[in-house]
Amino acid sequence: MLNTNEMKIFIEKHQLIEQSRVSFYRYIDDFDGLDEFDDIIINLYKVQMVINYQFDEPVEYLQILLSVLGNNVRFAEYSYLVTLSGEVIDDSLIYCK
């Protein structure tokens, strides 16, 4: 388990914020429907450590959330999941209501 300082060092060492931004742009390059927005801006929103339990076994990872704004309106969050060894396990675009 990482403490807060170790988590910050881990994020910086693995360049996870930068990787999540690059991954977001790669994600939307393959995605239709975002061309209605003139300018898409992404901002770092949250980094959190998550422990999910699958079949009574803990699965630990870091979740990096980016706010996605278009036409000056926040319309989605991009979620980027990374294991504690630095391996990317998932990403998704979550639309806001």
8-state DSSP, 31: -
Give the strand pairing for 88-95 and 73-83. Answer: antiparallel
Which range among 20-24, 34-38, 81-85 shows the weakest confidence by mean pLDDT?
34-38
Give the strand pairing for 88-95 and 57-70. Answer: unpaired
Question: Against a cut of 0.75, is the pTM above it?
Answer: yes
Q: What is the predicted pLDDT for the residue at 35?
A: 61
Higher-confidence residue of 35 and 73: namely 73
CA angle 47, 7, 94 (to 5 degrees): 20
